Amino acid sequence: MTPTAHALNGLLTRCAKAKVLVIGDLMLDEFVWGKVSRISPEAPVPVVWVQSESVMPGGAANVANNIRSLGGQVSVIGLIGEDRWGSALLSDLAARRIDTAGIVKAQRPTTVKTRVIAHHQQVVRVDREQRERLPAGVIERLIASAEARIKEADAVVIEDYGKGVVTRQLLESVIPLARTHQKVITVDPKEEHFDLYHRVTALTPNRAEAGGAVGRELESDADVQRAAREMLQRLECGAVLITLGEDGMWLFEQGGRDVRIPTVAQEVFDVAGAGDTVIAVFTLALAGGASLEQAARLANQAAGIVVGKLGVAVVTPQELRARLTNKPSSIRKRLVRTR
């Protein structure tokens, strides 16, 4: 039976008691807000008059922020540099009451994405990052940090943005240990690492990532179905939740069951960070005792809220409860941006 709004609403109370460990690539999202009134005489580019600046947790830190926003208890493990950006991210997470004791500092720049936004449109994005393989000692510190915290968590999220934290060595330690302790394990994957995600609870790729995993583009519904079944068989995971943008999401479970979930987005301003919200809410719901379908439907409701906000955003319990009492309407696109 399809979960009712009342049943999904009840999940929110249980979510507040769940403990989640987030492991992955930490980022700081910086926003420069302004307006454009002319084109530069030096080059055919807009001149942005800066009016304000702000920062938000990004990547795995945004997943943790989404979990905390819904009342869950969350610890985060990842890497930051010994720089002002790393200090800013630590301070921001601590202010949100997110446990940062597992974060490792290293001689490597903190990953920062700077977005310049004028009149509700992104003008340019500037990325500061380093993707070279981490030294063995740093990987060992990350593993030790994870091993010390898995036992106390109800669920483990692996957030792989391909920045170097999620490695074979780390996964070969973390996944078996989490399975031994019977934890929920979810992964927001990068296609080049798909073969490392054996026997997790669920994967949450988007259409492009799922296509990359099977080596072909997924142009039709039949393509999506075949790709999901291949991933389930190859990785022996419990489920694959493929996000399809304006077409909603599609949940595939071991045993052959699948559920197509249409989008509930009413307006689409910005899709940045929507995948982070999906895995955060999906995992938190599973940790609270939800079924895979209940968790997916709640995550779909949350994603429909955050894409209606400009910039990397989170969803609150109040927003989710309000959404669950209303019927979805058609999508109105305003600004769509990929992750």
Block means of pLDDT (10 residues each) for the chain, 339 residues, are 60 82 96 93 94 93 94 96 95 96 94 92 91 92 96 96 92 95 95 87 95 94 97 96 92 95 66 82 93 93 82 79 65 40
Q: Which residues of 82-106 are buried (b: 16+ CB within 10 A; e: fewer)?
A: ebebbebbbebbeebebbbebbbbb
- The tokens for 57 are 């947790």
pLDDT, position 333: 42
Cβ neighbours around 3 below 10 Å, total:
17
pLDDT, position 338: 37
pLDDT, position 12: 74
Q: How far is CA 137 from CA 23, 153, 167, 173, 184, in A?
A: 17, 25, 13, 15, 28
- The tokens for 252 are 């595939």
pLDDT, position 316: 86
Q: How far is CA 168 from CA 51, 142, 197, 268, in A?
A: 44, 13, 9, 36
pLDDT, position 317: 84
Distance CA 135, CA 107 (A): 10
Name the fold adopted by 5-34+51-333: UDP-N-acetylmuramoyl-L-alanine:D-glutamate ligase (3.40.1190)
DSSP-derived 3-state class of residue 30:
strand
Backbone phi, psi, residue 49, to 5°: -90, 115
> Cβ contacts of residue 332 below 8 Å, gap of 6+?
266, 267, 268
Residues marked as catalytic: 276
pLDDT, position 105: 95
pLDDT, position 270: 47
